[in-house]
Each structure stands twice: as C-alpha cells, then as structure tokens.
Chains A and B, each alone.
Chain A
Amino acid sequence: MTGTIGKEPYIEIRGVRKGFSFGAEKVAIFSDLSLNIARGDFVAVMGPSGSGKSTLLNMLSGIDRPDSGKVRIGDSHLEQMGESAKAAWRAHNLGIVFQFYNLLPMLNTAQNVELPLLLKPLSRRQRAERVDTVLDLVGLDGRQKQYPASMSGGQQQRVGIARAIVTDPGLLLCDEPTGDLDCKSANDILEMLRLLNRELNKTIVMVTHDPEAAGFARRTLHLNKGEFTEQFQREPEDLAPQPHRDEAMEQGVARQ
C-alpha cells in the first residue's frame, strides 16, 4: 500500500534527511524519509510531540528545506527552488491552516481573507466577491467586518480556513487545526475539511494529536523516530456516511 492513486503521485517525498543543530550537536529528525500522497487524498499525520510532524509540513510548504532528498509537489521541486519562486508557488498552490489561526489582529475578517488575493491580478470587486463566497462557504457570511479579537476560537479558525482556500489552491496543509478548539468547534472544522476534500477535491495533509480528528481523514500516518511506523488505511465502510464520496474519489482519480 503506497497510498498512490494513479501513476505519478501528486506529492512525492523521497530520501529526505533533515536535522537541526543545537550548538555543536546535530540532532537528526529524519534520516531517510519517503512518502507519496495522491491528488485528492486527505492524510492525517500523528505522532508524539517532537517527532517532526511540523517539520514535515514545513518542508511541504517550502518554508523549510531538507538537508538532502527530494520534495516534489505537482511539477514543483521545492528542494531546488529559491525563496521568491517558492513564495510565488505558495501564493498559487498552497493554503495553510495554523493551530493558532495566525490572523492579523488589525485586519477584520474580510481583510484577513483578502490578504492572499492581493498577490493576484484581481480587481477590488473581484476580490470582494471571492471573499464573500468563501466566507459563505465556511459559515461566516455577515461577519465580514468583525475583528479576530472579538471571535471565538472556532470562528477564527473558520476565517483561517477561508483565507487558506480563497485562492483556490490544490493543497491544504493543516498543523493541529483543532488543537486549540473545544470538541464542538473541532468537529465543525474537521467536517469542513472533509467537505473541502470530498466536494472541492482539495488534497489535505493534517497534523493532529487527536485520533478522533484523524478519523476524518482518508488515511492516517504515524510518525515515530523519524519514520512512518504504521499506515492505517481506513476502509471505506469505516468512514462516516458521505453522500458524494465516490464521486469525489472518481474526480480525484480522473485528475491524475
């Protein structure tokens, strides 16, 4: 089981070595990490604290680079790209959802969501339309003018998701997206991610501590001591009933 749908995986991590040095001491996080993720997949990454889950996501988003090895997403070889090329790549292909939302406090909801659109050749009006559309999608319509400080964690995370998807990227990276939320809000957010995966065919890689959260993904990887020790592929029957599941899966395959 490689997790690959189709011939060429969408995401390919091959032979990645990564370590951090603390003064003279060099601590290896990964010595030889490999992983394939298909387009349209929803992968949960679990593992003990300090096992390198965030480091993995950082290499996928290009904000950190491997010491050696290959990180390819689509046609882009991140390990070979410079900072500005990676910034442009992120602007077009990637949405990131953070544990602590990372909204800009001086901007209201609409402005926070609009931020990534400033990098696109869109008119003010087109930007506003897109912002309204995604805010509607995450259930925050009418809260355009509200500031992050006056919102609950769950609401702020919805803004975070809206900001991540407003440019319609193919890939969503989520680092503990529910780590700071109560049970109910967490469920709403996870439902939303599942919806984005099933309905809009977003490829999602989500780091989480919580086995229940991982249950929303199509498959779960366990990261331990620099290796994926277990790959748990959920059987379709285990998944909560999803009306459009098969259709979405087919689309995922068709797009390979």
Chain B
Amino acid sequence: MTSLQLARRNAWRKPYRTLLLMFCVAVAILIYGLTQSFLAGSQGTGGASDNLLGVFNKAGRSQSLPMSYLGRIAADSDVAAVSYMARMRGFAGTQSNVVMTSAVDPRSMAAVNGRELGLTADLLAGLDRTRDSVLVGKALAQAQGWSVGQRIGVTAFQMTGTNGSRDWSFEIAGIFEGADASTDTYFMIARYDYINAARAQGKDMVDGFVVRPRDGVSPGVLASRIDALFANSAAPTRTQSEKQFLEAFIRQFADIGLIINLVVGAAFTTIMMIVINTMAFAVRERTFEIGVLKTLGFSRGRIMALVLGETLFISVIGGLAGLAGAKCATMLAGPALGLSLTPLVAGKTAIVIIALGLLGGLLPAVNAMRMPIINAFRSR
C-alpha cells in the first residue's frame, strides 16, 4: 500500500456516492468542454481573424458594392492585398440543407487569405481547370458526403442565371481544409468570373471586399480610411475585421446567447456546488479517522495531501470521462456545429478539473489538518 492507494481506498469507501460524484463531474466537464469548444469553434469568434478587414455596404451585408471600388481600395499604400467576392446562398437537395458559396477571384483571394483557408497551389490550379470548378470546405464536404471530381447541383435562393433557372451546377476540383480546426470550412469557393457572367442580375457587383493590411498597419486606422474614401458616394462602406463582425453578429442573438449562457452556467455551477459540498461532507465524515492517523504520527501536511489526493482522484477520473465525452461529441457532430476542442480548450478544461478537485478538498482538508486530535476524537 502507498499513500496514493490509501487516498483511493478512502475515495471508494462509499462506491455508490463516489461513482455518482464522478458522474456529476463528468457531466459538468462535458458541459464546460462543449461550451468552450463552441466558443473556440467556427461558430464562435475564436477562429475569426483580427487581421483581415471586410469592406461591406454600410446599408447592410445583403446590399452589394460596385466592383469599381477595387482599384481605389488597392491604391491605398497600407493595403497588402485585396480581393472581392459575391455570395450565393442556396441549398443542395432539400431547402433546409443550406450551402453557402463564395464566388471569388482565385488569385487575389489566395493572396488575401489563402493561408487561413489552406488554399494550396494544387487546389488553385484545380479551380483554374474549368469555369464551373469549385473548392469545397472540408466540413461541408464531410457533411454532404461529397468527394473530389463529383458534379453537384446547388439551387440558389435568389440568384438566377441568364437562362432563368436558379439551379447551378459545379464540379468539385478540390477540398480545402483550413489552417486549423477552428477555421470555418462549411462553405465552398466558386469562380467569380463564371458566376458573374452567368447571372441575370447584379452583374459586376460584389458583396464585399476582403483586405489584408500590410504588416504593422493598424487595421482600425486603415478601416476608417477606407470608409472615408466612399463616405460621399452612392454606396458608403463599413469596414470591420472578421472578428468584429462576428462579435456584432453574435450579439444580434444576445438574448438567446444570454439564455444559453445562463442555463449552461447555472447547470455547471449547481453541479459544481453539489460536488464540492458532497466531497467536503465525505471528508468531514471521517474527522475521527483523520484523528486516528494523526495519533499514528501523520503530519498535517500528509493529512492535507491525503484528503486532496482523494478529491483529486474523484475529479480527475470524472473529469477525464467528461472530456472524453466532449471530444467524442466534437468529432461526431463537431464540423457541422462548428465545435472545436482545441488544445487550448482541453488545457482550460484540465485546469477546471484540477481546480475542482482542489476546491472540493481544500476547505475540509484545512479543517482536518487544523482540528486538534482531541476534538476529532470527541466527534464520535
């Protein structure tokens, strides 16, 4: 037997209670891990870039801007690269199966955020091959079960072709993976020249420009300078970083987000309090036995370590189960829901697990450590 085994023995004194505690910890950690994964994922702002600026119509993102703005934006010496895009909202098969397509100029797109999206030279060459080639994001391809070389049909909600149809056909030239797990890859990239030539309305209009500022340039300063360029034109612009936009966007749903946060937070806190309280109670129950250990010559430090070892044992076992559950969830449903259990999230969760074990044990451990043996014996 070792001190660690002794702590484990103590923890298993009431197996039912211990299992229940571990289960509670697992659920709490699952909740925590999923919430954090969501925030770190593509639906949160975690993966959003602070470096890229988006130039959109001030009247709203659904309004377009003239292509002619491109030259004036590119002329600013603080702009390293600029690209443009038109977005096509559509669906594949059923209406609820929404598919977003960004029609871009591949060359300038690659210069602006090719690295973030993981656009390799091979992928770009594939896009060049035929006019209706598309690159599909990994998350989207996985969700739809699409593969390279496949011909797919997307029905646009609005955009009609010159032939009067809203059905668009594309050939998948490649699949882009994104620079890391938190990159949103639930969309596809088509060629602007093809879409622009084939659409009936809105020719030579774009939904926005994407700007990469030069290194060392303040994105905020550049953004206001760009907006100033077009302030007195027919279509004034609003320039924001992707992150700013997403944050503003998420804030639109503030009440829903707040409710989710409150419910999740309340559940998490409640479980934590139950766990901490129960662990504290379990230790207090053994005041007498701790007194016995002290008479055998166990020092205060050892008693403290023993109690903390026991609560840590419970929280680590339960916590790892919860973390494993969160990992499974992000792997099974992750891409579509934009969940991403990054190493950072896993690290934060590990800290929560340790903190829980220490918190649950600390108060009773300090009490156990301090209590005079004589009182411990009179507790019976």
Cβ–Cβ contact A106 & B299, under 8 A: no
Indicate if the CB atoms of A63 and B297 lie closer than 8 Å. Answer: no
- Complex formed: what's the CA distance from A2 to B237 in Å? 104
Stretch of B9-17, B250-258, B265-273 on the interface side = B9-17
For chain B, which range describes its interface: under 10, 10 to 19, 20 to 34, or 35 or more residues? Answer: 20 to 34
Question: CB-CB < 8 A to A90: which residues of B?
Answer: 295-297
Q: Are A83 and B300 in contact, with the CB atoms below 8 A?
A: yes
Interface of B is mostly: helix
B344-380 interface bits toward A, Cβ cutoff 8 Å, 1 = contact, 0 = none: 0000000000000000000000000000111001000
A195 within 8 Å of B by Cβ? no
- Beta-carbon contact of B299 and A88 below 8 Å: yes
Interface membership of B333, Cβ < 8 A: no
The reply to whether B299 and A84 form a contact with Cβ atoms under 8 Å apart is yes
Segment from B58-66, B116-124, B286-294, B319-327 that makes contact with A = B286-294
On chain A, the residues within 8 Å of B372 by CB distance are 63-64
| Number of chain A residues close to chain B: CB under 8 A | 28
Point out the residue from A58, A87, A163 that lies within 8 Å of B299, measured CB to CB.
Answer: A87
**Residue ID in chain B nearest A131 by CB atoms:** B1
Residues of A within 8 A of B301 (CB): 84
Which partner residue on chain A sits nearest B9 by CB separation? A106
Select from chain A the residue with minimum beta-carbon distance to B373. Answer: A63
A83 to chain B: which residues have CB within 8 Å? 300
Does B3 sit within 8 A of A, measured CB to CB?
Answer: yes
* Min C-beta distance of A99 to chain B, whole Å: 11
In the complex, whether A102 has a CB less than 8 A from a CB of chain B is yes
Residues A88-102 near B (CB distance < 8 A): 88-92, 94, 96, 98, 102
Per-residue contact bits, chain B 308-352, to A (CB 8 Å; 1 contact, 0 not): 000000000000000000000000000000000000000000000
The CA-CA distance from A33 to B289 in the complex, in Å, is: 31
- Binary interface profile of B, 97-114, with partner A (CB < 8 Å = 1, else 0)? 000000000000000000
Whether the Cβ atoms of A118 and B294 lie closer than 8 Å is no
Please tell me if the beta carbons of A115 and B293 are within 8 angstroms of each other in the complex: yes
Q: Is the CB of B299 within 8 A of A96?
A: no
Q: How far is the CA of A13 from the CA of B380 in the complex (A)?
A: 29
B2 interface residue per 8 A CB criterion? yes
Which of A104, A124, A163 sits near B289, CB closer than 8 Å?
A104
Residues of B within 8 A of A118 (CB): 1-3, 6
Residue among A63, A87, A107, A115 with most chain B CB within 10 A = A87
A8 to B362, CA, bound (A): 45
Contact check: which of B288, B289, B300, B373 meets A84 at CB < 8 Å?
B300
Name the contact of B298 in the complex, choosing from A96, A107, A119 (C-beta under 8 A).
A119
A–B complex contacts, Cβ < 8 Å, 5 sampled? A63-B377, A64-B373, A104-B292, A114-B1, A119-B296
Give the top 7 A-B pairs by smallest Cβ distance, nearest first: A91-B297, A90-B297, A63-B373, A87-B299, A116-B296, A102-B292, A106-B9
